[in-house]
């Protein structure tokens, strides 16, 4: 897999994400909490990557050899994780390039963010010259489930989501790690987590080119603080041409000190207003906050087909239905009144005891007396009806007639009618098996009604390419 | 590639950091935008002659490198119907700081819109459409797109305005010429792409739209420093 580098040639990012061999440079012989040592320890014998320790002083790290230079390692390195002091990094990178290392993650800090732009410029110059892909500096690097983990966070402290379809690229390492926790909590699987830090060389756009062709990645999400000059334009144009959904969360929306501007347009088209407009224009889905980001990622890794946004709601509680209707309306979705034949058909398929008490409009409130079969019967009619193009199930696991199999049953209805279903189920440990019944069978589940509505909203916002 | 006359105007304007209105009007008319009939006068007899040629009523505006915001110095007089008012206006405007002339232009009526551009650091030229006039920054009823625009983009920008009904005919008012507005937006966006190296922001405020046409009535063009 290749991607175009800023110089116009081709760079191969695969060694960065799927290294077979990896050098960790800057290992301490004495301090196991040194970031380099953490990276070494968590990969060594734990991932399918051969790991080598490097420090100019040489010696031993426990029983392992510390090589003085990367060139001393008797194998070619796919990836170098560089964790030395900032002022040493350019020379280390030159050595890596000289030794034929194929890529690097520079986790050291202290470059532009610490007033040493000169060091960063040297690295970029040599990387461009040698077509040497590196991410960072001042980053965590990459985490790829079952492949590699360059995050200098002790293994026992990290929360890792299951392997799945979302790749999250973040300018901030902290935001990235936090979202791994949130993805894990919401059952959203990840393909890759990429921390790009100062994004000196490999930036959002280069990663987009790689991820667009990465079979593991179904959804590409970004956390972005800002782009360099003109780079926003290049990025949104590339994202518009990408067949996979691109989701973006932005910080720094409030201008620090609205500078005095001499034209109305400059005042009205502020930095964030322009950002939001350019992004939306190019079919990138902007998430306003964490809940939106996680909900959008979850639903778009389950479904790719866009909807118009006519939602059919099935609930066991009238209050939940009413809350969902309000949230749908705010999100620009409609909850259409069902036609009489459709309502009658739902009614005819419900159990006698439910039929007499259910409120069969949209939302369809099946009441606390409903059992699995009633939910399934209602879902079948909505699944078949052209009146709605997405079904939202607000499921209350404490209703006595609901079984652990409800998710499995509803997901087969969703598949049968090729219509996206989204669900709300309260997330507590007790209900995990029920939630997994949905999620492992393809129906995304949110822990809030609002989240379920946001999932439907993402499907409606996603335009066909 | 910009036309030579345009390059000359931009070069001349660099020292002020913006383009004087008659020059800006020149640029837009060179690129096929509709502009009102206008002329610049410094002397009373000349002003009267030009105003009669254009036809009363006319609007008079200060032309001065020192005055970017004309209404701030009371530098715009609309609805001048006779020679006497015109001459009086000239004598007052000629006392304003930096006076180099008085622009006399045909009075144009219509729905006031703003069409603008801003050269964004991250995204390059951005195009703005909104309800125009002096209230533009109060109502903030605007839509924004990255240039260049196609007709579909222009159409979506119009649809995004809260006040779009005022454009398509509201309570008996005549709808404006939407295709002329779309063409204005598309052409303007292309011009802004060509000028992105030199131009910082542009306000066409107002662009007067009627059932027949869209006319650039006032143009303020700020240059990059």
Rounded to whole angstroms, the Cα distance separating B162 from A347 reads 42
- Predicted confidence band at A257 (pLDDT cuts at 50, 70, 90)? very low
Do A284 and A348 fall within a single domain? no
Do A255 and A296 fall within a single domain? yes
Do A132 and A255 fall within a single domain? yes
| Mean pLDDT to the nearest integer, A108-135 | 95
B-interface mutation test, from A264, A273, A281, most B Cβ less than 10 A away: A264
Identify the pLDDT of residue A143.
97
- A350, with CB counted inside 10 A (0-12, 13-18, 19+), is buried
Contacts of A428 (CB under 8 A, 6+ apart): none
* d(CA A267, nearest CA chain B) in Å: 8
| Mean pLDDT to the nearest integer, A260-267 | 72
The pair phi, psi for residue B148, each rounded to 5°, is -75, 155
How much of chain B exceeds pLDDT 70, in percent? 100
Identify the pLDDT of residue B139.
86
| Mean pLDDT to the nearest integer, B61-75 | 92
A416 touches B at CB < 8 Å: no
Whether B146 and A281 lie within 8 Å, measured CB to CB: yes
End-to-end CA distance of chain B: 21
* Of the partner residues A262, A264, A281, the one whose CB lies closest to the CB of residue B116: A264
* Of the partner residues B69, B145, B205, the one whose CB lies closest to the CB of residue A277: B145
Report whether pLDDT(A4) > 60: no
Do B12 and B98 fall within a single domain? no
Domain containing B157 — which CATH number?
3.30.470.20
A67 touches B at CB < 8 Å: no
| Mean pLDDT to the nearest integer, A269-286 | 93
Do B118 and B216 fall within a single domain? yes
Identify the pLDDT of residue A261.
61
Residue A154 has which token pair? 């002790």
Identify the pLDDT of residue A333.
96
Whether B117 and A228 lie within 8 Å, measured CB to CB: no
CA atoms within 13 A on the CB side of A286: 18
**B112-128, pLDDT tens digit by residue?**
999 999 999 999 999 99
How much of chain A exceeds pLDDT 70, in percent? 95
Rounded to whole angstroms, the Cα distance separating A40 from A54 reads 10
Domain containing A319 — which CATH number?
3.40.50.261
Identify the pLDDT of residue B128.
97
* Of the partner residues B123, B203, B220, the one whose CB lies closest to the CB of residue A274: B123
* d(CA A230, nearest CA chain B) in Å: 5
**A359-380, pLDDT tens digit by residue?**
999 999 999 999 999 999 999 9
- The two beta strands, A219-224 and A246-250, are parallel
Identify the pLDDT of residue B135.
80
Whether B122 and A263 lie within 8 Å, measured CB to CB: no
Do B122 and B216 fall within a single domain? yes
Do B196 and B144 fall within a single domain? yes
Query: Domain count of chain A?
Result: 2
Residue A64 has which token pair? 């392992």
Do A230 and A331 fall within a single domain? no
* d(CA B91, nearest CA chain A) in Å: 28
Report whether pLDDT(B136) > 90: no
* d(CA B167, nearest CA chain A) in Å: 20
E strands, chain B, in order:
18-19, 38-41, 58-63, 76-80, 101-106, 111-120, 124-131, 142-146, 199-209, 214-216, 219-223
Do A206 and A346 fall within a single domain? no
Do A30 and A101 fall within a single domain? yes
Identify the pLDDT of residue A270.
82
Do A244 and A345 fall within a single domain? no
Rounded to whole angstroms, the Cα distance separating A285 from A461 reads 7
B202 touches A at CB < 8 Å: yes
Report whether pLDDT(B20) > 60: yes
Do B19 and B71 fall within a single domain? no
Rounded to whole angstroms, the Cα distance separating A446 from A228 reads 35
Contact present, A259 and A251 (Cβ < 8 Å): no
* d(CA A335, nearest CA chain B) in Å: 23
Judged by CB atoms within 8 Å, which residues 2-31 of A form the interface with B?
none
Report whether pLDDT(A465) > 50: no
**A139-160, pLDDT tens digit by residue?**
999 999 999 999 999 988 999 9
Q: Among B106, B122, B139, identify where a domain stops.
A: B106
Residue A4 has which token pair? 């175009």
Q: Among A275, A300, A325, identify where a domain stops.
A: A300
Whether B118 and A228 lie within 8 Å, measured CB to CB: no
For the four alpha carbons of B94, B98, B101 and B105, in that order, the dihedral sign comes to: negative
Indicate the SS3 state at residue B26. helix
A275 touches B at CB < 8 Å: yes
A229 touches B at CB < 8 Å: yes
Whether A265 and B117 lie within 8 Å, measured CB to CB: yes
| Mean pLDDT to the nearest integer, A236-259 | 85
Identify the pLDDT of residue A258.
46
A281 touches B at CB < 8 Å: yes
Do B175 and B132 fall within a single domain? yes
Do A296 and A424 fall within a single domain? no
Identify the pLDDT of residue A179.
96
ipTM score for this prediction: 0.91
| Mean pLDDT to the nearest integer, A427-436 | 92
Domain containing B101 — which CATH number?
3.30.1490.20
Do A279 and A407 fall within a single domain? no
Please write down the HEC assignment for all residues of chain A.
Answer: CEEECCCCCEEECHHHHCCCEEEEECCCCCCCCCHHHHHHHHHCCCCCCEEEEECCCCCEECCEEEECCHHHCCCCCCEEEECCCHHHHHHHHHHHHHCCCCCEEECCCCCHHHCCHHHHHHHHHHHHHHCCCEECCCCCEEEECCCEECCCCCHHHCCCCCEEEEEEEECCHHHHHHHHHHHHHCCCCEEEEEECCCCCCCCHHHHHHHHCCCCCCCEEEEEECCCCCCHHHHHHHHHHCCCCCEEEEECCCCCCCCCCCCCHHHHHCCHHHHHHHHHHHCCCEEECCHHHHHHHHHHHHHCCCCCCCEEEEEECCHHHHHHHHHHHHHCCCECCCCCHHHHHHHHHHCCHHHHCCCEECCCEECCCCCCHHHHHHHHHHHHHCCCCCEEEEECCCCCCCCCCCHHHHHHHHHHHHCCCEEEECCCCHHHHHHHHHHHCCCCCEECCHHHHHHHHHHHHHCCCC
* d(CA B200, nearest CA chain A) in Å: 9
Q: Which residues of A touch B154 (CB under 8 A)?
A: none
Residue A134's beta-bridge partner residues? A104
Identify the pLDDT of residue A294.
96
Indicate the SS3 state at residue B180. helix
Q: Which residues of A touch B222 (CB under 8 A)?
A: 262-263, 266
* Of the partner residues A233, A263, A264, the one whose CB lies closest to the CB of residue B123: A233
Do B91 and B133 fall within a single domain? no
Q: Among B60, B75, B106, identify where a domain stops.
A: B106
Query: Domain count of chain B?
Result: 2
* d(CA B21, nearest CA chain A) in Å: 14
For the four alpha carbons of A265, A270, A274 and A280, in that order, the dihedral sign comes to: negative
B62 touches A at CB < 8 Å: no
Report whether pLDDT(A384) > 50: yes
Report whether pLDDT(A6) > 60: no
Do A207 and A62 fall within a single domain? yes
Do B125 and B178 fall within a single domain? yes
Identify the pLDDT of residue A255.
65
* Of the partner residues B123, B126, B205, the one whose CB lies closest to the CB of residue A264: B205
Q: Among A243, A269, A300, identify where a domain stops.
A: A300
Q: Which residues of B touch A262 (CB under 8 A)?
A: 18, 68-69, 201, 222
Do B16 and B113 fall within a single domain? yes
* d(CA B148, nearest CA chain A) in Å: 11
Identify the pLDDT of residue A346.
96
Domain that holds residue B92: 38-106
Identify the pLDDT of residue A2.
46
| Mean pLDDT to the nearest integer, B37-66 | 96
| Mean pLDDT to the nearest integer, A420-424 | 98
Mean pLDDT of chain A: 93
| Mean pLDDT to the nearest integer, A325-352 | 96
Do B96 and B149 fall within a single domain? no
Residue B110 has which token pair? 């219509």
Whether B143 and A271 lie within 8 Å, measured CB to CB: no
Report whether pLDDT(A5) > 60: no
Report whether pLDDT(A123) > 90: yes
Q: Which residues of A touch B113 (CB under 8 A)?
A: none
Q: Which residues of B touch A232 (CB under 8 A)?
A: 120, 122-123
Identify the pLDDT of residue A304.
86
Instruction: Give the range among A131-135, A176-180, A238-242, B167-171 with minimum mean pLDDT.
Output: B167-171
Identify the pLDDT of residue A463.
63
Q: Among A272, A300, A328, identify where a domain stops.
A: A300
**B172-215, pLDDT tens digit by residue?**
888 999 999 999 999 999 999 999 999 999 999 999 999 999 99
Smallest CA–CA distance from B117 into chain A, residue? A265
Rounded to whole angstroms, the Cα distance separating B185 from B221 reads 16
- Predicted confidence band at A1 (pLDDT cuts at 50, 70, 90)? very low
Do A114 and A171 fall within a single domain? yes
Rounded to whole angstroms, the Cα distance separating B217 from B28 reads 10
Q: Among B89, B106, B123, identify where a domain stops.
A: B106
Cβ-Cβ contacts under 8 Å between A and B: the total is: 95
Do B211 and B114 fall within a single domain? yes
Do A279 and A399 fall within a single domain? no
Identify the pLDDT of residue A379.
98
Whether B153 and A281 lie within 8 Å, measured CB to CB: yes
Report whether pLDDT(A220) > 50: yes
**A16-36, pLDDT tens digit by residue?**
999 999 999 999 999 999 999
Rounded to whole angstroms, the Cα distance separating A20 from A41 reads 16
Domain that holds residue A240: 2-300
**A69-115, pLDDT tens digit by residue?**
999 999 999 999 999 999 999 999 999 999 999 999 999 999 998 89
Other beta carbons within 10 Å of A145: 18
Residue A34 has which token pair? 């040194």
Identify the pLDDT of residue A239.
96
Rounded to whole angstroms, the Cα distance separating A160 from A17 reads 17
User: CA of B39: how far to CAs of A326, A433, B27, B85, B215, in Å?
Assistant: 58, 80, 14, 17, 16
Identify the pLDDT of residue B138.
86
B67 touches A at CB < 8 Å: no
Whether B140 and A264 lie within 8 Å, measured CB to CB: no
Judged by CB atoms within 8 Å, which residues 125-164 of B form the interface with A?
126, 128, 130, 136-137, 140, 142-146, 153
The pair phi, psi for residue B50, each rounded to 5°, is -65, -40
């Amino acid at each position: 897999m290749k991607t175009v580098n800023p110089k116009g040639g081709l760079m191969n990012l695969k060694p960065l994400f799927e290294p077979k061999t990896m050098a960790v440079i800057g290992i301490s012989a004495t301090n196991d909490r040194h970031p380099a040592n953490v990276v070494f320890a968590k990969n060594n014998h734990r991932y399918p990557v051969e790991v080598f320790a490097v420090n100019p002083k040489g010696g031993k790290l426990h029983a392992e050899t510390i090589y003085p230079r990367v060139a001393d390692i008797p194998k070619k390195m796919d990836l170098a994780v560089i964790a030395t002091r900032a002022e040493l990094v350019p020379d280390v990178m030159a050595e890596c390039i000289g030794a034929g290392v194929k890529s690097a993650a520079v986790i050291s800090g202290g470059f532009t963010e610490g007033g040493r732009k000169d060091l960063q410029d040297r690295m970029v110059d040599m990387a461009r010259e040698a077509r040497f892909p590196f991410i960072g500096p001042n980053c965590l690097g990459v985490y790829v489930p079952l492949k590699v983990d360059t995050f200098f966070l002790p293994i026992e402290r990290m929360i890792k989501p299951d392997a799945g379809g979302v790749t999250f690229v973040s300018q901030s390492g902290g935001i990235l790690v936090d979202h791994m926790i949130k993805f894990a909590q919401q059952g959203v699987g990840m393909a890759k987590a990429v921390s790009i830090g100062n994004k000196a060389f490999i930036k959002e756009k280069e990663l987009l080119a790689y991820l667009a062709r990465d079979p593991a990645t179904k959804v590409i999400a970004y956390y972005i603080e800002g782009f360099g000059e003109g780079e926003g334009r290049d990025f949104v144009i590339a994202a518009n041409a990408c067949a996979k959904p691109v989701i973006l969360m932005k910080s720094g929306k409030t201008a620090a000190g609205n500078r005095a501007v001499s034209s109305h347009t400059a005042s009205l088209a502020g930095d964030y207003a322009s950002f939001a407009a350019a992004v939306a224009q190019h079919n990138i889905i902007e998430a306003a906050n964490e809940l939106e980001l996680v909900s959008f990622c979850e639903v778009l890794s389950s479904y790719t087909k866009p909807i118009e946004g006519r939602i059919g709601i099935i609930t066991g509680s009238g209050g939940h239905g009413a809350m969902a209707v309000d949230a749908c309306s705010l999100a620009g979705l409609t909850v259409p009144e069902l036609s009489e034949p459709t309502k009658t058909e739902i009614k005819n398929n419900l159990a006698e005891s439910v039929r007499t008490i259910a409120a069969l409009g949209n939302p369809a409130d099946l009441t606390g007396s409903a059992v699995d079969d009633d939910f399934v019967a209602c879902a079948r009619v909505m699944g078949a009806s052209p009146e709605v193009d997405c079904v939202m199930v607000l499921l209350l696991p404490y209703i006595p007639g609901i079984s652990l199999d409800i998710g499995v049953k509803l997901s087969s209805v969703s598949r049968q009618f090729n219509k996206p279903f989204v669900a709300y189920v309260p997330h507590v440990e007790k209900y995990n098996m029920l939630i997994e019944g949905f999620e492992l069978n393809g129906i995304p589940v949110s822990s809030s009604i609002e989240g379920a509505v946001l999932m439907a909203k993402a499907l409606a916002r996603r335009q066909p390419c | 590639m910009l036309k030579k006359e345009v390059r000359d105007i931009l070069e001349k304007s660099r020292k002020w950091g913006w383009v004087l209105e008659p020059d800006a009007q020149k640029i837009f008319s060179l690129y096929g935008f509709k502009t009102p009939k206008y002329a610049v006068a410094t002397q009373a007899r000349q002003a009267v002659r030009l105003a009669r040629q254009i036809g009363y009523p006319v609007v008079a505006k200060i032309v001065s490198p020192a005055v970017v915001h004309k209404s701030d110095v009371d530098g715009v007089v609309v609805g001048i119907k006779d020679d006497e008012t015109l001459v009086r206006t000239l004598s007052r405007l000629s006392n304003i700081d930096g006076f180099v002339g008085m622009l006399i232009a045909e009075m144009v009526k219509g729905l006031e819109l703003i069409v603008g551009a801003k050269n964004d650091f991250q995204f390059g030229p951005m195009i703005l459409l909104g309800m125009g006039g002096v209230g533009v920054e109060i109502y903030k009823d605007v839509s924004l797109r990255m240039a260049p625009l196609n007709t579909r983009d222009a159409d979506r920008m119009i649809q995004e305005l809260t006040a779009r009904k005022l454009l398509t005919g509201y309570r008996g008012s005549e709808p404006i010429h939407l295709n002329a507005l779309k063409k204005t937006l598309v052409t303007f966006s292309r011009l802004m792409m060509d000028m992105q190296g030199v131009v910082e922001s542009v306000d066409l405020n107002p662009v007067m739209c009627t059932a027949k046409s869209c006319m650039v009535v006032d143009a303020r063009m700020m240059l990059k420093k």
